[in-house]
Amino acid sequence: MLIFRHISATQGQDFMKFAYFVRPHIGGTYSVFKQLRAGLAEKDVDVHWMSIDSPGSVHDDQWLPEFSYGSLVQVHGGMTERDQAETLVQALEDGGFDGIFINVLSERILTNIARYLPEKFLRIMIVHNITAGTYSAAKAIRNHVHATIGVSERIRSDLVRKLDFPAHRTFVIPHAAGSSSTRDIRREANMSDILRLIFLGRIEDASKGVFWLPEILSHLPQTVHLTVAGDGPDLGNLKDKLSPHLHRVTFLGAVHPEKVHNLLLQHDVLIMPSRYEGFGLTITEAMSAGCIPVVSRIRGVTDTIIDDGTNGFLFPIGNSREAAQIVAQIHSNAETAQWLSDAAQCKADATFTLEIMAERYLNVIRNVKADPINIAAPLRMEEWAMPRGLRSGLRTLVPRPLKNWLRVVRERI
C-alpha cells in the first residue's frame, strides 16, 4: 500500500502542483498515478488525479478513499464537449495547478484539451501503448505539449523515428514495480507439488491474448494450477474455453491494486501471452514479488524488462506450446525456480523502483520548467474540434481476427 503525505506550498520554492488526467479504476494508468503521487511527494511536486464526471457515471464505494487525492469535474447532460472542456480549464485554474500529465486516449476531451490550455500550464504527455490509434492521438497533440514520455523504449523509438517527435523532448520512463514497503515483504517457499500459475490483467483477447491460456494449460501436467485474476469483455468466453480444465482453474475477478502484491507472492509463475503491450506493469509487479514471468516477446517492451533465461522467459507471440514447455521446465526443477525467483526480485528491486521513476519524472519537469520551449499557440476554445487522430478511423472497421493476425505478424517480423 502506498502512503501519501500532504505537501504545502511553503515547503520549498520549487513546489509545483500537477493534475494527472485519469479517474480511479483498476488499471495501469491509475496505478502509475499512485506511484507518481507517492514518489513526487518527496520532491515537492503534488500530483492530483482529475477527470470529468460524465452523466451516468457509476461510482464504486471502493474508490471513495481515492477522492482524497483528486476530483471529478462536474458536468451535466446538456453540455457540449466544448462546454465540458471550458469547465475543465476553469477547474485547473481554480485548483492552482502548474502543469498537467496527459494520458493519451484516456478520454478524448482530456487528450484534446492539450491544444486549448492557456500558455501558463506546463503539459507533459504520457504514451502508454504501441497501437496505431494511440500513436495517431499522440501525434494530434504533439505540438501542444512541452515533453512526451513513453513508458518503454519501443514507444519512444516509434514516436521519434516514425512520427517526428523531437528527440530532445521525448523520454523513456518505465513504470515502477511498487513502493519500498511492498518490496520489504518476501515470499514463502512453495512446499507443495503444485505449481501455482497466474494470469493477472484485463480479460481481453485482442491485446492480452487470453484465448491462448486454454491451449497453454492443455500442454501442462495436472500438477499446474491456473489462477485467472481480472475482469474484462472476454471473461465469459474464456470461462467457456477453460471449462475442460475447471478442476484446476480459479477465477478471482478484478483484484484491487492494494491486494496485487500479496496475490503474486502466493504464485510461482506469471503467464502473460499478450499480443501487444506498451510496457507491462504486471511483469515488474510479478518480478518484485519473486513470481517468475513467462511472457510473450514484444520488441522494445518485454525484452527490455526481462533478461531471457536469467530473471524470466520470453516466447514468440502465440506459441502456446513453447510457453507451456517453459512453465513445465520451471516446475520440474525447484532449485532453478528458486534461483529465477530471486533473480527476478533482484532485477525489480534494482531497476524498477519508485525512487528511480520519480527522479526521472522530476528531471523532465525541471527541464521543462527551466527551459520552457515554444510550443504551438493554444487554439481558441470557441473553435473546439476533435482532430483526425482523436476521431474514429478506418482501422475500427477492420475485423478483430484480421487485426489480431496482423499484430502477431508485425511482432514476429
Which 3-state string (H, E, C) describes 276-313?
Answer: CCCCCHHHHHHHHCCCEEEEECCCCCHHHCCCECCCEE
Give the cell for residue 104: 493519451
Q: Do 382 and 341 have their domain in common? A: no
Per-residue pLDDT reduced to its tens digit, 350-361: 999 999 999 999
Taking residues 118-135, report their average pLDDT: 94
Per-residue pLDDT reduced to its tens digit, 245-286: 989 999 999 998 889 999 999 999 999 999 999 999 999 999
Domain-located, residue 407:
no
Provide the pLDDT for residue 126: 97
Provide the pLDDT for residue 161: 96
Q: Which residues on adjacent β-strands are paired with residue 200?
A: 229
Asked if the model's pLDDT at residue 398 lies above 70, the reply is no
Question: Residue 183's closest CA among 272, 257, 267, 284?
Answer: 284
Q: Do 235 and 367 have their domain in common? A: no
Q: Which residues on adjacent β-strands are paired with residue 375?
A: none
- What is the chain's alpha carbon radius of gyration, rounded to the nearest angstrom? 22
Q: Do 29 and 155 have their domain in common? A: yes
Contact call for residues 235 and 241 (beta carbons, < 8 A)? no
The domain in which residue 341 lies consists of 180-351
| Distance from C-alpha of 48 to C-alpha of 145, rounded to nearest angstrom | 19
Asked if the model's pLDDT at residue 395 lies above 70, the reply is no
More confident residue, 177 or 310: 310
Q: Do 221 and 334 have their domain in common? A: yes
Asked if the model's pLDDT at residue 183 lies above 60, the reply is no
pLDDT class for 410, splitting at 50, 70, 90? low
CA distances (Å), 12 to each of 42, 43, 45, 358, in order?
Answer: 11, 9, 10, 18
Mean pLDDT of the chain: 89
Pairing of the two strands 224-229 and 195-200: parallel
Q: Do 185 and 210 have their domain in common? A: yes
71 — phi, psi (to 5°)?
Answer: -160, 155
pLDDT class for 187, splitting at 50, 70, 90? confident
Taking residues 219-238, report their average pLDDT: 96
Provide the pLDDT for residue 399: 64
pLDDT class for 106, splitting at 50, 70, 90? confident
CA distances (Å), 144 to each of 186, 313, 404, in order?
Answer: 45, 40, 33
Q: Of 323, 351, 379, which closes a domain?
A: 351
Contact call for residues 217 and 245 (beta carbons, < 8 A)? yes
Per-residue pLDDT reduced to its tens digit, 34-89: 999 999 999 999 999 999 986 555 566 777 888 889 999 988 878 999 999 999 99
Provide the pLDDT for residue 25: 85
Domain-located, residue 246:
yes
Q: Do 16 and 118 have their domain in common? A: yes
Domain-located, residue 404:
no
Q: Do 203 and 289 have their domain in common? A: yes
Domain-located, residue 347:
yes
Give the cell for residue 34: 499512485
Which spans in 95-175 are helix H?
A: 108-112, 132-141, 153-163
Domain-located, residue 186:
yes
Conformation bin of residue 269: beta by default, left when phi > 0, alpha when psi is -120 to 50: beta
Domain-located, residue 86:
yes
Q: Do 332 and 390 have their domain in common? A: no
Give the cell for residue 190: 512453495
Per-residue pLDDT reduced to its tens digit, 1-11: 233 333 333 34
For residue 23, what is the domain's CATH number?
Answer: 3.40.50.2000
Taking residues 95-114, report their average pLDDT: 94
Contact call for residues 109 and 88 (beta carbons, < 8 A)? yes
Provide the pLDDT for residue 175: 93
User: Amino acid letter at 393?
Assistant: G
Taking residues 168-181, report their average pLDDT: 84
Tally the domains of the chain.
2
Pairing of the two strands 122-127 and 99-103: parallel
Q: Do 235 and 369 have their domain in common? A: no
Pairing of the two strands 70-74 and 147-150: unpaired
pLDDT class for 186, splitting at 50, 70, 90? low
pLDDT class for 411, splitting at 50, 70, 90? low
Domain-located, residue 75:
yes
Q: What is the 3-state secondary structure (H, E, C) of 193-212?
A: CCEEEEEECCCCHHHHCHHH
Domain-located, residue 157:
yes
Contact call for residues 95 and 11 (beta carbons, < 8 A)? no
Provide the pLDDT for residue 378: 95
Taking residues 284-295, report their average pLDDT: 96
Taking residues 128-133, report their average pLDDT: 93
- Residue-by-residue DSSP string for 62-115: GGGGGGGSEEEEE--TT--HHHHHHHHHHHHHHTT--EEEEETTS-HHHHHGGG
CA distances (Å), 124 to each of 64, 100, 143, in order?
Answer: 27, 6, 11
Provide the pLDDT for residue 207: 93
User: Amino acid letter at 149?
Assistant: I
User: Amino acid letter at 251?
Assistant: F
Asked if the model's pLDDT at residue 407 lies above 70, the reply is no
Q: Do 133 and 43 have their domain in common? A: yes
| Distance from C-alpha of 42 to C-alpha of 357, rounded to nearest angstrom | 12
Provide the pLDDT for residue 109: 94
Per-residue pLDDT reduced to its tens digit, 300-349: 999 999 999 999 999 999 999 999 999 999 999 999 999 999 999 999 99
Q: Do 141 and 243 have their domain in common? A: no
Provide the pLDDT for residue 87: 95
Q: Do 19 and 123 have their domain in common? A: yes
Contact call for residues 381 and 85 (beta carbons, < 8 A)? yes
Range 164-173, long-range pairs (CB < 8 A, 24+ positions): 165/138, 169/373, 171/147, 171/360, 171/364, 173/149, 173/357, 173/360, 173/361, 173/364
Taking residues 91-118, report their average pLDDT: 94
Residue carrying C-alpha cell 488526467 = 21
